[in-house]
Amino acid sequence: MSRICVGVDFGGTSIKFGTVDDSNRRSETFQLDTPRDDGAEPVIAQIVRGVERSIAEAGVSREKVIGVGIGSPGPLDLGKGVIISLPNVPGMENVPLRDEVAKRVDLPTTLENDANAAAYGEFIAGAGRDTYEMVMLTLGTGVGSGVVHGGEIIHGAHGIGGEAGHLIVDPGGRPCGCGQRGCVEQYCSATFLARYTAERIRKQGEATSLAEVLDANGRLTAKDILEARNAGDALAEEVWEECCFHLAIACVSICRLLDPDCIVLAGGLTNAGEDLLEPVRRHASEQNWTLCEQKTEIRIATLGADAGAVGAAGVAWRVLGDSTNGAVRTGEC
């Protein structure tokens, strides 16, 4: 009978649960609502409930459960396993989530940030599972990111590494909520792409089929833009290409610094599939160095919304298990 770790993907509206066994095989996932009204206690209780159900559904005896991994939005204190605060969930300030869950389920528990956990999920069981060095960019409301180096998540010296969504791809460009200008996030997140396009239409009155959609719905989505682009709308084509260009610039800079096996794209924008991948790869190829063959592959994630729970379980395996990952490898150019 396999040993398992339980993965918990804790979010502002729901909590997802799943298990990963010692061969990185993953279970079906399920989700529970995030209690949002009474602070930390109901949240912790809900997580404990989900963990117990996961173990029951896995049908393994207790001693086969190695531990629990939690992925959570932050800011977190990873060293202490504490949620410092959660903008979207009231009452979650300075919650020692890792140790509280560990105590109540009586299993060793790990805490990782959600973007890193999702990247780790793709690394162990998704688009990056045949790789050793991987960077993931999740193109959603913002642009989340995780960097895996030699099977290990890169946290940096102060715990704020792996934020490829805030690489600067347009110095002096669009202001970002993080305080910088020209971040990847401002050009390549589904939300900001739609917002920027709507602003251009409103302010500059550009001729575009999207003006009607904007009038009708009061807003645009990335899907609206893609559809207009594929129907030949010039503005939609321009902003889509611009998004893909800046994403490609980020990919090239990532290759120069880290030279990963692959860069995995995830999140809402990747529903565009080849319509995203083709222009990103094309721009990356045009902007990339010619000193040697480009070997880093740009791929689309395969785990979808399960990546977080799978990755959280993977982190628990990495920290609590007897993984032999992490050897040094060299290459040539």
β pairing state of 109-113 and 65-72:
parallel
Identify which range of 4-12, 14-22, 125-133, 231-239 contacts its own copies by CB under 8 A.
125-133
Q: What x/- string results for residues 79 through 108 when contact with its own copies is judged by CB under 8 A?
A: xx---x------------------------
Q: Which of 35, 39, 161, 268 binds its own copies (CB under 8 A)?
A: 161
State in angstroms the smallest separation of the CB of 161 from its own copies.
3
From candidates 9, 100, 122, 133, binder to its own copies by CB under 8 A: 133
Helix (H) or strand (E) holding 316: helix 307-320
Is the Cβ of residue 39 or residue 75 nearer to its own copies in the bound state? 75
- Of 94, 150, 117, which Cα lies nearest the Cα of 10? 117
- DSSP one-letter code for 73: -
Q: Which of residues 309-328 bind its own copies (CB under 8 A)?
A: 328
Helices (H), ranges, 39-180: 40-58, 97-105, 114-125
The residues near 204 (Cβ < 8 Å, ≥ 6 apart) are none
Q: Which of 185, 197, 262, 259 is nearest to 223 (CA)?
A: 197
What the block records as the tokens of 168 is 């600067």
Q: Which of 19, 14, 13, 18 has its CA nearest to residue 1?
A: 19
Identity of the residue, 56 or 328, whose beta carbon is nearer to its own copies in the bound complex: 328
Residue 167 lies near its own copies (rule: CB under 8 A): yes
Question: Which DSSP helix (H) or strand (E) runs through 16?
Answer: strand 14-21
Residue placing its CB nearer to its own copies in the complex, 36 or 149: 149
298 touching its own copies, by CB under 8 A: no
**Judged by CB under 8 A, which of 131, 138, 197, 270 binds its own copies?**
131
Q: From residue 19 to residue 58, what is the string marking binding to its own copies with x (rule CB under 8 A)?
A: ----------------------------------------
d(CA 161, CA 135): 12
Q: How far apart are CB 265 and its own copies at their closest, in Å? A: 16
Q: How far apart, in whole angstroms, are the C-alpha atoms of residue 295 and residue 291?
A: 12
Ramachandran area for residue 188 (φ above 0: left; ψ -120 to 50: alpha; else beta): alpha
Placement of tokens 């531990």 in the chain: 67
162 binds its own copies (CB under 8 A): yes
User: Which listed range, 42-50, 101-109, 146-154, 299-307, lies at the site for its own copies (CB under 8 A)?
Assistant: 146-154
Residue 318 beta carbon to its own copies: minimum distance, rounded to whole angstroms: 9
* Nearer of residues 202 and 295 to its own copies, judged by Cβ: 295
Q: Which is nearer to its own copies, 213 or 263 (CB)?
A: 263
Site membership for its own copies, residue 203 (CB under 8 A)? no
Give me the 227-266 binding string for its own copies, x by CB under 8 A, dash otherwise: ------------------xx--x--xxxxxxxxxx-----
Q: What are the C-alpha distances in Å from 15 to residues 18, 29, 193, 213, 324?
A: 10, 10, 28, 34, 30
Q: Cα(297)–Cα(118) distance, rounded to whole angstroms?
A: 19
Distant-in-sequence, close-in-space partners of 75: CB < 8 Å, separation ≥ 6: 84, 85
List residues binding its own copies (CB under 8 A).
74-80, 84, 131-133, 147, 149, 152, 154-164, 166-171, 176, 178-181, 245-246, 249, 252-261, 287-292, 295-296, 328-333
